[in-house]
Structure 1
Amino acid sequence: MTDFTIGQRWLSENETELGLGLVQNVDHRLVTVYFPACDDQRTYAKNNAPLSRVAFEVGEQIETMHGEMLKVERIEPLNGILVYMGKQTGGGDELIPVPETQLSHHLELNKASDRLFSGQIDSLRWFELRYAAMKAKEQQQLCKVNGLQGPRVDLIGHQLYIASEVGNRFAPRVLLADEVGLGKTIEAGMIIHQQLLNHRAQRVLIVVPQALVNQWFVEMIRRFNLHFSIFDQARIDSLISLDDLELGENVDIDLNNIEVENPYLSEQLVLCSSEFLAECDLNLIKDGEWELLVVDEAHHLEWSPEQPSKEYLRIETIARDTAGLLLLSATPEQLGQESHFARLRLLDPDRFHSLEAFVEEQQAYQPIAELVSQIVEQETWTSSLKQQISQYLDDVEICEDNRDRILSELLDRNGTGRVLYRNTRKNIKGFPKRKVIAHPVDNCEKYFDDVGNDLNETIAYLLHPETQYADESWTQFDPRIGWLKNFLKENRSEKILIICAHKDTAIALDLHCRFKQGINCCTFHEDMDIISRDRAAAHFADQEDGAQAMFCSEIGSEGRNFQFSHKLVLMDLPLNPDLLEQRIGRLDRIGQNQDIEIHVPFMQQSAQEVIFNWYHLGMNAFEKTNSAGSAIFKRTKAQLFDALVNHSDQSQQEALIKETQEITAEINQAMESGRDKLLELASFNQKAADQLVEYVAERDSLAPRAFMESCWDRFGVQVEDHSEKTYVIRPGDHMFIGSFPALPEDGITATYDRKTALSRDDIQFISWEHPMVSGAVDMVLSEDKGNASVCILKNKAIKAGTILMEVLYHIDCVAPKYLQAQRFLPYTAIRVLTDVNGNDLAEKVNHTNLSKQCQKIPKNTSRQVLKSEEKILRKMLASADKKADVKAAKVLDSVLTNMQVSQSDELNRLISLQKKNPNIRNDEIEFIKTQTQLLEKYLKDTQLQLEAVRVIVAV
């Protein structure tokens, strides 16, 4: 393990642009390094920190933090710190002590000109690779969809739109509430990916139900190349074990007074279950310095003004100290306005402070929703409509040509559009049809109607009569079993998902079908551990030798995706309509390419038939998504319970169906004409979504294949064809370096084609955002290889003996990552091609055409050229520096002006919006102000950096 001492200077190998780092804190496991040049801090594990010790040698020049230049004469170590004894350039003989803590924070290593004139030269191929890496970094930072191209996902408009809207914000606090099957997990993953890639966040905590932990873990790796660490109590215990405290023997230990390093700080990306969160040490996890908190299935967080749940209070405590918060819930309002308010209250407690005020505010949005509908639907606006619009927008020109701007302003200034995104199947295309098929069977006399000690228990027994038996003997006489046996035999070539309420029911059905009927099937229930569930899901998904059917308990209706199947069997029906929608949503998802068959066996003249008719005839809940289900249940609950208990009373059932139909129509009409319309318009912009899809597709067409093949060739990585559009990439026997970024020892199978990657989970998708590609770019630019080169040029049009010098520079603003200075000043490559007369030929002769005519030259010959022509070459380099300075000044002046205009526009927009939409938080406005001041400072301090020099001699 490397020895670190507070005050030492280290350089980040992966982020050299951070400048010279200063060790601030060291413990037995972690080292914290502060980078003053960009006011940033990093915490690394000591045993694998990507850091290089910076130690100058005698004779080298050093710069102090005050700008003084000294030549090192002697070096004296002092308690692990180096003290340089140096003489001032042009000064006397006095030795001035400079502790390494006083060195300049800006450091330029391996200066190209120094290597060139000392004869440390590389081949022209290394120079070309360096230029390619510079252009790759420049293009990536200029990319309009930076952060959206890398994920291995289908290019689906509404997902890209939400990810773009939210992912680019400072500290987003948003509820993602798309209907089941629209891809909330994908949206959350893309937002996380963007926030990390653009350095908006570095430490992320994801909290999900225990049943979904492994699925999220795999999805984050497979789709987003994000490696989260799963934390549970066993891991926490191991991280704070007494062995790690490094205490000596025979020491009296008072565990209550031991201060240990917070175990959550050992990883940047952490994933844990909501069950673990409910029982863990709240203070430790709260102090994890999270910058983004993600909570899946947030509707499980129960809250009331009088008695919020323990789980809710814990999330609230962590969210209060975390800048960004993403909540995922498919049922934001169906659980009632109180539940919906509870979610919004987590996002912004200052904004959503009163349930009564929230309810009143929602009612005020209905006329705005109606106005928005008229704006969208009416091609030509009446004077009356224009007057209505002007009442809400007094600073926008009211005319049809300005329709998009008016819609955008109305949606931005009203409602919860900035904190809540909800897409429904109504405004998203590409979903299959749903068809319900009823399978009435005979009633069974062996089940009893008079069971249970209270109403709820009685209804539970009526809907799930098999639970009256303590064993699986019911499978011998239940009439649904015979139907299921025939159904499975008739559909042997189909994948069939079977869901029932209780795990004992699922287990009994699996055992009966497997051992009595010889059917290849499996189970999936809450008593199985995560690994066993994943194996069962994989066995069911296997198209060749996998299970024909999978029996799920109720947990199969949340989180899992089985859209490779299109046949769903519901052995019973839940009382909660949202739970029914969750069940159907396992198959009814984006990516489903067949119509869905929903098969429902039920015993006639029983409570099962009553609830089927209530769902199907009363609210059409099987064949259409049912956003109003919870509200309908709440208003018909008493009547439904009476009908279930008195299931032989036909008139009572008919009255229930009629009442349910009327309430369903009423609620759907209210939702259609009310705030939901406003919300859905705010959640999706088809034009913007289509443009994002086009941008990402265009970026896909510019795959990094040529660049990566050059890298692999230079660094000794082996590449072989695997199949069409697919390659095997593995470390070579004689690699130039010890390891290649994101390349494991056993190699990977990869493709540059998105469709191929989506069809094969075992194949990695190589895009410009893949860690291997971004790592290769950073590696090439952080190495000195290729920054000094000499070659010959064969061109009959150029006189033999002519000398050209191709000089590469870059401008890269060294600033804290959260400022996102690259939005205004991306990494910018500047190229100068000068002759001995100081003329810049870069505009006339491009790099690619020039390189095609260049050839290698023996190193000894190169060094002779450099030595004999050093005076001329130094003059040419000085001329190139001046011309590059002029180009850089123009870029920086333009950048500074554009930044000030853009920031001013955004600040004025937010201030204006805040007067009409309290969703605009004060900290967003203050951030813009502070960001502008800091950006101005760092942009003005940006210096042109010499990157590489190539001397070209015509022969």
Structure 2
Amino acid sequence: MTEFAIGQRWLSETETELGLGIVVNLDYRLVTVFYPACEEERTYAKANAPLSRMTFAAGDRIQTQAGDALIVSAVEQVDQLLIYQAAPEDDPAALRPVPESQLGYQVELSAVTDRLFSKQLDSNNWFNLRVAALHARTQAEQSPVLGLRGPRIDLIGHQLWIAHEVANRFAPRVLLADEVGLGKTIEAGLILHQQLHTHRASRVLIVVPQPLVHQWFVEMVRRFNLHFSIFDRERLEALQPDESVRDMFARLLEEEHSGVASTPENPFLSEQLILCSTEFLAHCNMDQLASAEWDLLVVDEAHHLSWSEDAPSDAYQRVARLAAAARGLLLLTATPEQLGVESHFARLHLLDPDRFPTLEAFRSEQQDYQRIAALAGELVDNSIWSADLKARLQALLPDIAPEESRRAQILRELLDRSGTGRVLFRNTRKHVEGFPERHVEGIPLPFPEFYANGEPDDALHPESGFNDDRWCAEDPRVSWLAEFLRRDRSRKVLVICARKETAIDLHAWCGYKLGMNVAVFHEDMDLISRDRAAAYFADPEDGAQALICSEIGSEGRNFQFAHHLVLLDLPRNPDLLEQRIGRLDRIGQTQDIQIHVPYFSDHPQEVLFQWYDQGMQAFTRTNPAGTQILAGSREQLDAALASPKDTTLRAALVEDTRTLAQQLQRQLEAGRDRLLELSSHQPEQAAALIAHLADADAAPPSDFMDSAFERFGVEVEEHSEHAIILKPGPHMIEPFPHLPEEGITVTAHRPTALSRDDLQFLTWEHPMVQGAIELVLSEDRGKASVALLRNPKVKPGTLLIEAFYTVECSAPRALQASRFLPGTIIRSLLDAQGRDLSQAISFPGLSQQCHKMEKPLARKIVDSQQALLEKLLANDQQRVNAQAEEIIQAALATMRTHQDGERNRLVQLQQKNPAIRQEEIDFLDRQTDALRQHLAEARCQLAAVRVIVAAAS
């Protein structure tokens, strides 16, 4: 076993871009190495650590952490550590000791030429795959939509713009308040994905109401490839040993390290991505949870955190403690300030207690802001501005001429100088295109006498009184459904009912006894079974005509390829009804939605249907005030449900509900914030993001991955037009990244991925693709190759050298240095005289003419031409270094211009809008200093070389 010691310098053989590492921790089988260049740690098993000891001999050049360049004179070893006696090149007498722990982290490597001249040669296919991986990594870093290419989402403008705007901030703290159905969860997921992908964040905590835990878990996995660990009481108990075990370990530790106090391990540090419920917060150790160093906290349904100035709820106080400890915060709610200034202030106070300190101050500020928001609405609504409008505008913005041609600039200034636009985003269906019309059909049916023999759990669900499917033969709703499905077998129909038992019985009756092509979907099925059922329903040719779901069918899944929704029963909560309809009523739905509601006449089901339909028009339009309507009419609703044949009682319920709904709707409209609506969506910028993502979709990783699959022994089978099945092959030497033993099915086609939740969406940001790129680049294979050139126009025996260099900056990933210096590739194509032909002959064109050369001949050529090859590559390295230095200096200039401009903008905004935190400006200053240092230390290295010899045609 290799002997390691703390303080030794080692180099990762698989991740050379990490720079020179230092051993910081050891135990009997593990070694931990810290890489200062990237501020990252790696822990390896001692027995097979992919590490090379970095040592220098007399005459070698070394660099210290202070940046001093020295020449080694002698080396000695003290307690397994090396101490170099070294001096500046221009002052050999000024010797000084340099412990290896004080060496700088930049290191010059020559692994490519070492492999070439030691004749460790690879095939053309390996060389081409390595070059493809280099280009893939470079193009990813240069992408204007970095972090947005991977998620399985529709390309919807307002969602993409909000995600791009928020995710590029330092530790964003915002309230996402889009109207129901506009995709707040997707916006939050996009922000999380981009922050994690760009390493702005690494630790995330999501807190949601208990019924939404599963929905969020599925959404994060299926759409964003983010695997959260669900923490509940059982998980917490499993992570915390009981007292007897803890005491035993404490005694052992005290015996081994007498006088050293031990502290209990924080279980919330065991995972990077954690999902829990708001109910879980009431039982967990809040000290541990709050101290777990969260980069981002996400809280869904934030309006449920009740607050009053005198008595904030316990749930609110617990979330407030987490919000204060987390660097970034995303609050999600569909009900912003229009439905209560007090609760709206409570949420904004969570985001920034300094900016929103008291309710009284917030009320005063809001009064002034409403005037500004109304002015913004006039600016947009009027193409020609009146003299009065210009005068009011001039009084508010004295430094800007009130001209229609400056409309965009003026609106931007209004947003930046006032209001909550920087911390609050709200879009409404009224201003977002792409939604279908909704139509409802109520089907009154007679109540069967059969149900009089049962004892239902709830009058709304009379079938609950039976423990088998006998009720299906007597229930006219089932007969109607069967006839409805038979009338048009080509249409897809989603059927939702409240109870899983109802769904199971209905599926068995329709599928097995009536022979209909239906699938079932309920909470007792595991995730794979649900995926299969959803995929079977989604199949346009051989799939199920109908999917019969329990209430869980209204959570998380989108079935917008279907246009017919059958509600076999109705929930008492308007929000839950909207969730059901929302499975089909999504942006991207291509047809109007037909909602069918069979119900029993003179029965509680009819009361509920009329309450929804006539009282609040809940079937045909969204109603963000549904919860408030329910609260205001609950007693009347209960009375009417208890006496369903009392038409007077029912009519009063409907009329009072209609009045309340209209009143709340007027409040919503009166509270419309036009300035906020304008700031929450920038159509031009959103269109540019969509165009970039469309371009990325047009160039998927399919060709690169096909080559990687072939090289690494992954079996590929055809699945369907746009999908393939991947399995580990019998000759696969090592595990392929994110390929399970049982295999997976993937697609690179976005429309297919959106309609098939059971398929993995293979994009350049998918973990498997990212892993494949890193796997190729961490291998030595492909670094050096020799090929035959078959071209009748080239003289036989002509020698060419094709070299690929990379200009890279080793920096902490959170700095995102690639914004200014993305991994850059420089290609050279040298003839025997050292002339560069790369501009005249492209890599793809040349590769098509390069063919396999037998290894014995290839080795002879390298051996016989080594002196020439060394000379040409050395001269080329000098030329490329000069070119790389120009690139580095340009990156530094771009960085300074960008950072200075961003800082000046924030400073100016801070004078006008206290929503700009000093923390943001301080962070920008620290970031600029770190970027300056790391960009200046960027290096150019040879990444791959191919010797090409022309053959006789």
TM-score in terms of structure 1 length: 0.83
Which stretch of structure 1 is more off in the superposition, 788-797 or 91-100?
91-100
Q: 1:547 to 1:795 in 2, by over 3 A?
A: closer
**Partners in 2 of 1:721 and 1:515 — Cα distance?**
35
List aligned pairs for 1:557-636, cutoff 5 A: 559=556, 561=558, 564=562, 566-569=564-567, 571-572=569-570, 574=572, 577-590=574-587, 592-599=589-596, 613=610, 615-630=612-627
Partner of 1:460: none
**Matched AA of 2:565:** K
Please give the alpha-carbon distance, in whole angstroms, between the structure 2 residues aligned to 1:73 and 1:83: 10
SS in 1 for 2:874: helix
- Cross-structure match for 1:114: 114
1:372-771 to structure 2, matched below 5 A, reads 372-396=376-400, 398-438=402-442, 472=465, 482-492=475-485, 495=493, 497-499=495-497, 543=537, 552=550, 559=556, 561=558, 564=562, 566-569=564-567, 571-572=569-570, 574=572, 577-590=574-587, 592-599=589-596, 613=610, 615-630=612-627, 661=658, 664-665=661-662, 667-735=664-732, 737-771=733-767
On the 8 A contact 2:584/2:593 being kept in 1, the answer is yes
Counterpart of 2:585, as a letter, is D
Alignment of 1:71-470 (within 5 A): 78=79, 82-83=81-82, 100-241=100-241, 259-333=263-337, 336-396=340-400, 398-438=402-442
Determine the C-alpha separation between the residues in 1 that align with 2:116 and 2:765: 33
| Amino acid corresponding to residue 774 of structure 1 in structure 2 | Q
CA distance in 1, matches of 2:175, 2:47: 36
Label 1:282 to 1:477 Cα distance change in 2 as closer, same or farther (>3 A). same
Distance 2:478 2:718 in 1: 47
Structure 1 residue identity aligned to 2:377: S
1:894 to 884, 890, 911: 890
Give the conservation status (yes or no) of the 8 Å contact 2:339–2:668.
Answer: no
Matched, 1:779 2:775: yes
Deviation at 1:891, TM superposition (A): 1.6
Q: Is the 8 A contact 1:562 1:586 kept in 2?
A: yes
Look up the match of 2:454. Answer: none
2:754 aligned counterpart, secondary structure: helix
CA spacing shift, 1:927–1:89, aligned 2, 3 Å: closer
Structure 1 pair 887–595 and aligned structure 2 pair: CA distance change class (3 A): same
Structure 1 stretch 162-171 or stretch 653-662: which is displaced more?
653-662
Relative to structure 1, is the Cα distance of residues 701 and 837 closer, same or farther in structure 2, using a 3 angstrom cutoff?
A: same
The Cα shift of 1:646 comes to 9.8
- SS of the counterpart of 2:836? coil
Deviations 1:788-829 (A, max 9, x none): 333444445555554433332211122221111111111111
1:119-155 C-alpha deviation (Å, 9 max, x unpaired): 3333343333322222222211111111111112222
Distance 1:232 1:5 in 2: 41
Residue 207 of structure 1 aligns to a residue in which SS?
A: strand
Distance, in Å, in 2 between the alignment partners of 1:336 and 1:160 is 29
Partner of 2:489: none
Provide the C-alpha distance between the structure 1 equivalents of 2:792 and 2:554, rounded to a whole number of angstroms.
74
Give identity over the alignment, percent: 48
**Could you say if the C-alpha distance between residues 698 and 524 of structure 1 is closer, same or farther in structure 2, counting changes exceeding 3 Å?**
closer
Mind listing any 5+ residue stretches in structure 1 that lack a counterpart? Answer: 448-462
CA deviation profile, 1:22-54 (whole Å, cap 9, x unmatched): 34456899976532123x23476x679996333
**Separation in 1, partners of 2:583, 2:78:** 65
The equivalent of 1:34 in structure 2 is: 34
The aligned counterpart of 1:453 is: none
Counterpart-to-counterpart distance in 2, 1:244 and 1:3: 34
Distance 2:890 2:406 in 1: 30
CA separation of 1:838/1:818 partners in 2, compared to 1, >3 Å: closer, same or farther? same
2:945 to 946, 949, 952: 949
CA distance in 2, matches of 1:897, 1:591: 43
For 2:785, the equivalent position in structure 1 comes to 789
Query: Judging changes above 3 Å, is the alpha-carbon distance between structure 1 residues 509 and 595 closer, same or farther for their aligned structure 2 residues?
Result: same
Secondary structure, aligned partner of 1:928: helix
Which stretch of the first structure deviates more once superposed, 85-94 or 788-797? 85-94
| Cα deviations by residue, 1:901-920 (Å, 9 ceiling, x for unpaired) | 21222222222222333322
Gaps of 5+ in 2: 452-456, 487-491
How much has 1:361 moved relative to structure 2? 3.0
Q: Deviations along 1:891-945, whole A, 9 cap, x unmatched? A: 2222222211212222222222223333222212222222222212221222222
Shift of the 170–866 alpha-carbon distance from structure 1 to 2, 3 Å rule, reads same
- CA 1:472–1:800 in 2, change beyond 3 Å: closer, same or farther? closer
Quick one: which of 899, 907, 912 aligns to 1:911?
907
Measured against aligned partners, the alpha-carbon deviations of 1:455-494 in whole angstroms (never above 9, x if no partner) come to: xxxxxxxx97569x99938999999995534433433567
CA contact (8 A) 2:390 2:402 kept: yes
Contact 1:202/1:291, CA 8 A, preserved across alignment: yes
Secondary structure of the equivalent of 2:128? Answer: helix
- 2:822 corresponds in structure 1 to 826
Amino acid at match of 1:374: E
SS at match of 1:426: helix
Query: Does the Cα contact within 8 Å between 1:87 and 1:93 map onto a contact in 2?
Result: no
Q: Which amino acid aligns with 1:940?
A: A
The 3-state SS of whatever aligns with 2:37 is helix
- Write the distance in 2 (CA, Å) between the matches of 1:915 and 1:112: 54
| Letter of the structure 1 residue corresponding to residue 354 of structure 2 | D
Relative to structure 2, which stretch is displaced further, 638-647 or 870-879? 638-647
- Which residue in 2 is equivalent to 1:65? 64
Structure 1 distance, partners of 2:948, 2:466, is: 89
What is the CA-CA distance between 1:253 and the residue it aligns to?
Answer: 9.8
Taking a change above 3 Å as real, the CA distance of residues 216 and 9 of structure 1, as seen in their structure-2 partners, is farther
Query: Separation in 2 of the partners of 1:857 and 1:523?
Result: 58
Distance 1:540 1:135 in 2: 37
CA contact (8 A) 1:444 1:479 kept: no
Q: Which residue of 822, 844, 858 corresponds with 1:848?
A: 844
1:730 partner amino acid: K
The separation in 2 between residues aligned to 1:161 and 1:48, in whole angstroms, is 47
Q: CA deviation at 1:588?
A: 2.8
SS of the residue corresponding to residue 946 of structure 1 reads: strand
Letter in 1 for 2:165: E
Shift of 1:550: 5.1
Name 1:451's counterpart in structure 2: none
What letter matches 2:810 in structure 1? Answer: V
Between 143-152 and 217-226, the greater mean CA deviation after superposition: 217-226
Gap change, CA 1:491 and 1:645, over 3 Å in 2:
closer
Aligned pair count reads 927
Change (3 A) 1:907 1:789: same
1:227 and 1:269 in contact (8 A); partners too: yes
Normalising by structure 2, what TM-score?
0.84
Secondary structure of 1:37 counterpart: coil
- Structure 2 residue matching 1:54: 3-state secondary structure: strand
* Partner AA of 2:141 in structure 1: Q
Instruction: Tell me, in whole angstroms, the C-alpha distance in 1 between the residues paired with 2:416 and 2:662.
Output: 30
